[in-house]
Amino acid sequence: MRTTLLLSLLALVFHSSASLLAIDYGAEWTKAALMKPGVPFDVLLTRDSKRKLQSVVGWKGDERLFGSEAAAVQTRFPTDSFQFLKPLLGTEYSQAAAANQSAVSLARTSESERGTFVFHRSDGTAWNVEELVGMQFGYVKELAEALGGEPVRDSVVTVPAYFSHFQRQAVLDSLEIAGLRPLALINDGTSVAVNFAMTRSFPIPETHIIYDAGAGSIRATLVTFSSSVSKSKKDKDKETTLIEVKGMGYDLVAGGMELDFRLRELLEEDFAHKTGVRIQGPRPVAKLAKEAARVKAILSANIDSSVHIESLYEDIDYRSKVTREQFEAACADLKPRFTQPVLDALAMARLTMDNVTSVILTGGASRTPMIQSVVNAVVGKGKIAQNVNADESSVLGAALYGASLSPLFRTKDIKVQDLVPYPIQMSYPAGQRTIHTPLFPRGSRAGLKKTVSLKRAEDFSVLFEYKDAPLHTREEILEVSFSGVEEAVRNLTDGGAKETVAKLTVQYSDSGLLSLREAALIGEGYEQSFAGALKGLFGAGKQEDVDQEADRPGAEGEQAPLEAPEMKQDPKELPLAFSEVARSVPGLTKERKRKSRQRLMALDAAEQTKRRREEERNQLESYIYKLRDVLLSDAETVFIVYSSEAERAALRSVLEEVTGWMHEAAETAELVLLREKRAALEAAEQPIQSRVKEAQEWPQHLSDLQRALTAGRIFLTGAFESRTSDDPENPPLHSDEELENVKTILEDTEHWLQEALVANKNRAKHIDATIKTWEMRSRGILLQDAVTKLTRRKAPKKPKKMSTTSESSSTTGAAEPGKTAGVEGQNDESQIPLHRQEL
Q: Which residues bind ligand NAG (CB under 6 A)?
A: 94, 96-97, 100, 253, 351-352, 354-355, 472, 484, 487-488, 491, 574
Q: Rounded to the nearest whole angstrom, what is the least distance from the CB of residue 167 to ligand NAG in the complex? A: 12
The answer to whether 266 touches 288, Cβ cutoff 8 Å, is no
Which one, 102 or 461, has the nearer CB to ligand NAG?
102
Q: Rounded to the nearest whole angstrom, what is the least distance from the CB of residue 269 to ligand NAG in the complex? A: 18
Which one, 178 or 210, has the nearer CB to ligand NAG?
210
Which one, 100 or 511, has the nearer CB to ligand NAG?
100
Q: Rounded to the nearest whole angstrom, what is the least distance from the CB of residue 470 to ligand NAG in the complex? A: 9
Q: Rounded to the nearest whole angstrom, what is the least distance from the CB of residue 421 to ligand NAG in the complex? A: 17
Q: Rounded to the nearest whole angstrom, what is the least distance from the CB of residue 91 to ligand NAG in the complex? A: 7
Q: Rounded to the nearest whole angstrom, what is the least distance from the CB of residue 129 to ligand NAG in the complex? A: 14
Amino acid, single-letter form, for residue 749: T
Which one, 170 or 574, has the nearer CB to ligand NAG?
574
Phi-psi region of 261 (alpha: psi -120 to 50; beta: other; left: phi over 0): alpha
Classify strands 514-524 and 573-575 as parallel, antiparallel or unpaired: antiparallel
Residue 64 CB neighbours (<10 A):
18
Residue 350 CB neighbours (<10 A):
10
Question: What gap in Å lies between CA 446 and CA 509, rounded to an integer?
Answer: 6
Which one, 51 or 383, has the nearer CB to ligand NAG?
383
Q: Rounded to the nearest whole angstrom, what is the least distance from the CB of residue 467 to ligand NAG in the complex? A: 19
Burial call 295-324: b when 16+ CB within 10 Å, e when fewer: bbeebbeeeebebebeebbeebebebebeb
Which one, 198 or 263, has the nearer CB to ligand NAG?
263
Q: Rounded to the nearest whole angstrom, what is the least distance from the CB of residue 244 to ligand NAG in the complex? A: 11
| C-alpha closest to that of 399 among 151, 245, 184, 208 | 184
The answer to whether 339 touches 374, Cβ cutoff 8 Å, is yes
DSSP reduced 3-state for 556: helix
Q: Rounded to the nearest whole angstrom, what is the least distance from the CB of residue 409 to ligand NAG in the complex? A: 33
Question: What gap in Å lies between CA 675 and CA 112, rounded to an integer?
Answer: 44
Q: Rounded to the nearest whole angstrom, what is the least distance from the CB of residue 100 to ligand NAG in the complex? A: 4
Task: Establish how many alpha carbons lie within 13 A of residue 692's alpha carbon, considering only the half-sphere containing its beta carbon.
Answer: 13
The answer to whether 250 touches 221, Cβ cutoff 8 Å, is no
Question: What gap in Å lies between CA 541 and CA 538, rounded to an integer?
Answer: 9
Which one, 253 or 408, has the nearer CB to ligand NAG?
253
Which one, 193 or 309, has the nearer CB to ligand NAG?
193
Q: Break the chain down into helix, strand, coil percent, rounded to 5.
A: 45, 25, 30
Which one, 380 or 438, has the nearer CB to ligand NAG?
380
Any bridge partners for residue 13, and if so which?
409
Q: Rounded to the nearest whole angstrom, what is the least distance from the CB of residue 258 to ligand NAG in the complex? A: 6
Question: What gap in Å lies between CA 627 and CA 681, rounded to an integer?
Answer: 9
Q: Determine which helix (DSSP H) or strand (DSSP E) holds 566, and give its type and residue range.
A: none
Which one, 484 or 732, has the nearer CB to ligand NAG?
484
Q: Rounded to the nearest whole angstrom, what is the least distance from the CB of residue 163 to ligand NAG in the complex? A: 14
Which one, 194 or 471, has the nearer CB to ligand NAG?
471
| C-alpha closest to that of 732 among 787, 793, 682 | 793
Residue 456 CB neighbours (<10 A):
20
CA 176 to chain centre: 13
Question: What gap in Å lies between CA 123 and CA 77, rounded to an integer?
Answer: 12
The answer to whether 570 touches 527, Cβ cutoff 8 Å, is no
Which one, 114 or 141, has the nearer CB to ligand NAG?
114
The answer to whether 223 touches 244, Cβ cutoff 8 Å, is yes
Which one, 150 or 269, has the nearer CB to ligand NAG?
269
Question: What gap in Å lies between CA 485 and CA 483, rounded to an integer?
Answer: 5
The answer to whether 491 touches 116, Cβ cutoff 8 Å, is no
Q: Rounded to the nearest whole angstrom, what is the least distance from the CB of residue 352 to ligand NAG in the complex? A: 6
Question: What gap in Å lies between CA 34 and CA 154, rounded to an integer?
Answer: 10
Q: Rounded to the nearest whole angstrom, what is the least distance from the CB of residue 551 to ligand NAG in the complex? A: 18
Question: What gap in Å lies between CA 822 and CA 529, rounded to an integer?
Answer: 104
Task: Establish how many alpha carbons lie within 13 A of residue 587's alpha carbon, considering only the half-sphere containing its beta carbon.
Answer: 24
Which one, 383 or 472, has the nearer CB to ligand NAG?
472
